[in-house]
Amino acid sequence: MNTLQLFELMIAILPVIIGLHYLANRLGLPPAVPLLAGGCLMAFLPGLPAFSPDPELILVIFLPPLLIDGAWGISVRYLRKHIIGITSLAVGAVLFTTLVVAVVTHWLFPSLPWAACAALGAIVSPPDAVSARAVLQQVKLPRRVLMLLEGESLLNDATGLVLFRFAVAAAITGAFSTTQALGSFAVLALGGAAIGAAVGVAWVLIGRRLQDEYLVITSALLVSWAAYILAERLHVSGVIATVIAGMICGTNQYKVFTAAGRVRGIAFWTVTVFLMETAVFMLIGLSLRGVVERIGGFGMALEQMAVPVLSILLALLVARFAWIFLSDGAISLCRLLGMRRYTPLGARGALVLGWAGVRGVVTLALALSLPEDFPGRDFILVSAFAVILCTVLVQGTTLGLLIRWTGLVPPESDKPRLSMSEAEAALMQVQLQVVQSRAYDGEGKLIHPQMLEQYKKKASVYTNYAGKESVLMPTVHAHFDVVLEAIAAAHAELIRLHKVGDIDEHTLVELQKNLDLEELTAIAIRA
C-alpha cells in the first residue's frame, strides 16, 4: 500500500467511523466493539490493498496524545492515594501474567525458547490505555476501582515494553540478566519521569507567556509528542514521560489557558481524541488480513492454532484474576492482623477489576514489531490478535452487564462533601461578596446599581441595556470590569474547593465551563 492509497484509506474510514459510532450509540455498545469489527470486515473487502502498518509509526502517532488525554484529567490526589494498588497492577500483575503465559506457552510448545514464550507474555499482559478508556466511558464504577483501572492502563505499558525488549534480546542473543533487567527498568522509569516533568514544566512556563489562545492550544497538543519522542530518543520510557507531562499540564492548565482558550481547546481536543481513538480500532481491525494471510488463511489458523490460542486466553484471564484476588486476600489478612491502613476491594470489586483488562494498540504494535525470523512469530501474532478481539468484543460488551449483576455501585464515601448545587451556591456567595464590596464608593454611595440588580434578576439588566448602548457604554465598562473580577474570584474559589477535596473532577469541569462562558460573555459585551 503506497502513501496515496493509505491517505485514501484514511478518508474512506471516516464515514465508516461515523456510521459505526452512531450504531454503537443506538445499541448501547462501547464504540470500540463495532469499530474493531468493522475494521476486520473492511480488511477483506475485494480490491482493498492489504494494510501492513509500521508498528513504531502507529505507536508514535496515536499513543502519546491518547495517553496524555487520560493523564490530563486524572486526579493526582487520588492517584497518589491509590499508588500502591496501581503499582501492584501496573508492575506486579504484568510480571505475574507474563510468567504464567510464558509457562503455558512453553508447555504447549516445548521446542519454543523460553525467551520467545516470555515475549508473548509481555505482549499480551498489559491492558491498553486506549481500549480501557473506550470501555470505561460506558460504565459507572466506584472511584477506587476506576482509579485503579485508569492508573494501571496509563503506567503498565512501561513494564510490558521493558519485559518485551529484554525477552526479544534474550531470544536473539541467548543471554539474559535479571539484575540488568531490574536496573534497566529503574532507569527507564525514573528517566521517563524526569523527561516528562521537564516537558510539563516547560509547557507551563512557556504557555503562560504565549498570550495567544491558538498558540497555547497548539503547544498543548505538541506536549505529548515532545515528551514521548524525547524520552524514546534518550532511551527511557516514553509512556511514563507522556503520562507525567500530562499530569503536570493538567494540574496547571488553569494557570495557562484563558476562558476562550479553554472553550476552544476542549472542543478541538475532544474531536482530535475522538478521531484518533476511533481510527486506532479501525486500523487494528484492518491489520487482521495481513496476520491471516501470513499464516495461510483462517482454515490453517483454526486447525493448528485454535486450541493453543484459547489456552493462552484462558491463562491470561486466570492469571489476572489470581493476582487481583490474591492481592485483595493479602489486604484482608493484614486487616485481621491489625494493619487497617488499606481496605480490600471485596469480591465484587475484584471481579469487575479482573474482567476489565482490555488489550489494544500496544499489544498489536509490539507483536508486529517482532523480527521476521523470531521464533514462533506466527503464533505470537495470532495470539496477540485473538487477545485483542476477545477482550474488546467479549469483555468490552459484557463489563456493564457484570457491573449490574454484581450490584457494584459507588459507595457514599465516593460522593464529594459538596454537591453541584452547593458548590454553585459557594461560588455565587464569593461573586456576590465582590460585587457588594465594589458596588459602593468610599463614601458609601451606590455606583453600580445595575450590577446589583443583575445578580438579583439578570433579565432586567439586559432589558435596561438594550437600545441604550452608546449612553451606557462607560458604565458598562466599569460594570463588567467588576463582573470579570468576581468571576476571577469564583474561579480561584473553585480551584481551592477542588484542591482541598470538597468537590470532585466532574463538578470542577462543569462549573469551570459555566464560569468560562460567563467570562466570554462579559468580555464580548464590554468590548
Q: Which of 392, 444, 443, 473 is nearest to 130 (CA)?
A: 392
- Give residue 159's pLDDT: 82
Q: Specify whether the CB–CB gap between 328 and 102 falls below 8 A.
A: no
Dihedral sign from CA coordinates of 329, 332, 337, 340: positive
**Type of residue at 18:** I
Q: Measuring CA to CA, how many Å separate 267 from each of 21, 182, 271?
A: 18, 42, 6
Q: Give the position of cell 450490584.
A: 407
- For 348, the enclosing helix (H) or strand (E) is helix 347-355
| HSE, side-chain direction, 13 A CA sphere, residue 248 | 24
Q: In terms of C-beta distances under 8 Å and separation of at least 24 residues, what long-range contacts does 185-191 make, across chains too?
A: 185/158, 185/159, 187/236, 188/158, 188/161, 188/162, 188/235, 188/236, 188/237, 188/240, 189/158, 189/236, 189/237, 189/240, 190/236, 191/231, 191/234, 191/235, 191/236, 191/237
Mean pLDDT by 10 residues, the chain (527 residues): 76 89 82 82 77 78 85 80 87 92 92 90 82 68 82 81 82 70 80 94 92 89 94 90 91 86 86 85 78 70 79 93 91 78 83 86 81 83 86 83 82 69 71 78 79 61 54 74 89 88 84 85 73
Q: Measuring CA to CA, how many Å separate 37 from each of 20, 56, 192, 282, 486?
A: 9, 23, 35, 8, 51
3-state secondary structure 144-158: HHHHHHHHHHHHHHH
- Give residue 197's pLDDT: 95
- Give residue 424's pLDDT: 64
pTM: 0.77
Three cell numbers written together for 436? 457588594
- Give residue 463's pLDDT: 45
- One DSSP character per residue, 156-202 reads HHHHHHHHHHHHHHHHHHS---HHHHHHHHHHHHHHHHHHHHHHHHH
Count of C-beta atoms within a 10 Å radius of residue 506 = 10
Three cell numbers written together for 77? 490526589
